[in-house]
Structure 1
Amino acid sequence: MRKRRKKRQKNKSFIPMFLLLAGAGGWYVMKTLEGIIGAIVIYLVCYLSFNIWRKTRHSARLRKAGIKEVDVMTGEEFEHFLGELFKRRGFKVSYTATSGDYGADLILKDGKDIIAVQAKRYSSSVGVKAVQEIIGAVKMYDANEAWVVTNSHFTKQAIKLANINDVYLIDRQELIDLILNKR
């Protein structure tokens, strides 16, 4: 069973430490207050430049992924988009009925594995209901795995329920990675 990766926590506590190290380096080289200030200014300029570069790279990546187009798709278009995406990744894809689908929108086959997929194209966070629906679909479609894929994010409750029931969650960032063939 594929497990959901834990998100990296953003930790800003290293900034004061690096400022202190930059100041110490400035003192070591120049032995003056101007050396300390100059080293700190150089560090801050490099830090800000790196962050600007990283954000513009992220924006370019989103444009390349076409995530903005995904955000305006209908639910049915999103299901077909995911079907094509998974076909490119080597899965045999079948679509369930639009209504009465028992909680699964796509059925993926990969050798002996059968994966029930719930597609949620949302503008807000995806909650527990989507996870509950796909859990019910597993037995209906005789699936080995259950996935919920969204162009958005999942609530903490949805993540908790998914972890307990071995449901694989693919959120916005992971979907972008899939689109760009990163995984």
Structure 2
Amino acid sequence: MAGRGRGRGAAARRRRVARLRAVAVGGGLVLVLLVVFWSVVWPYLTAAMLLGGVAAAGWWLWRTDRFLRGRDRMWRHEEAVKAGHRTLAEVDAMTGTEFEELVAGLCRRDGCTDVRRVGGANDNGADVVGRLPDGRSMVIQCKRYAPTSTIASRELRDLLGAKVHFDADLAVFVTTTRFSRPSENFALRHGILAVHRDHLGLWNNGTSLLSLSAVNGQGQGDSRHRARWKQA
């Protein structure tokens, strides 16, 4: 057994030596050919080296540009959050129109386009309209109610009608209070993004509107949590 093991080890060493010799011979042959045909080869080698250098420099510049642009976008977003930040107490003290303007400003901050406030006597159930960063159209209903109030299902039905009227891809309901359980279920069933008070706080503090869709229908807590929340 020991003899067979030593034999296999010797064979492996011989194979490694043979491979090294083959590599050395191949490298030497390439070197000889380069020397012999240098006058023919050198322009191509020089061009390849230049192209490689240009490609490397271009890649580095592209990476640097992406990094700087990313840092600039992040800085601009942070500054926009700071400039537009309001405490929920300040939001509670706003008029309905001021609240609609705040929501429109948050949409613009997140990269939404064609954002405009349309709230008024004949708003057809919409307060803000625009386009999401991905190009989809949206319609938003804003309700600045007291924190102790509750959004009923009928108000979300009105928003669903506005979605049809404006032929929007996404309907969003933003409020300073909470949704009743039936209205929350209605929103989830019909694809309405329901932004209650807690989610409004997240949005106001820098979270993007679209990211709130991942927690739609969540975050209002149980009855004890809501009781404490109403007292705050």
Report the structure number with the largest CA radius of gyration.
2
Per-residue deviation, 1:102: 1.1
> Which protein is richer in helix relative to its size?
2
Give me the whole-angstrom Cα distance separating, in 1, the residues matched to 2:200 and 2:145. 13
What is the aligned partner in structure 2 of residue 80 from structure 1?
101
CA contact (8 A) 1:65 1:176 kept: no
CA contact (8 A) 2:159 2:173 kept: yes
Unaligned runs of 5+ in 2: 1-84, 209-232
Q: Deviations over 1:66-110 (max 9, x none)?
A: 110101111111001111111111112112141111111001212
What is the aligned partner in structure 2 of residue 27 from structure 1?
none
May I ask how many residue pairs the two structures share in their alignment?
120
TM-score where L is the length of structure 2: 0.49
**Over 3 Å off, 4+ runs:** none
Give me the whole-angstrom Cα distance separating, in 1, the residues matched to 2:202 and 2:119. 28
Identity of aligned residues (%): 28
Matched, 1:133 2:178: no
Code of the residue aligned with 2:125 in structure 1: it is G
CA contact (8 A) 1:102 1:137 kept: yes
Cα RMSD (Å): 1.4
Structure with the larger RCO, 1 or 2 (CA within 8 Å, 6+ apart): 1
What is the aligned partner in structure 1 of residue 116 from structure 2?
94
TM-score where L is the length of structure 1: 0.62
CA contact (8 A) 2:119 2:126 kept: no
Unaligned runs of 5+ in 1: 1-63
What is the aligned partner in structure 2 of residue 9 from structure 1?
none
Give me the whole-angstrom Cα distance separating, in 2, the residues matched to 1:97 and 1:154. 21
**Which of 159, 176, 190 is the equivalent residue of 1:151?**
176
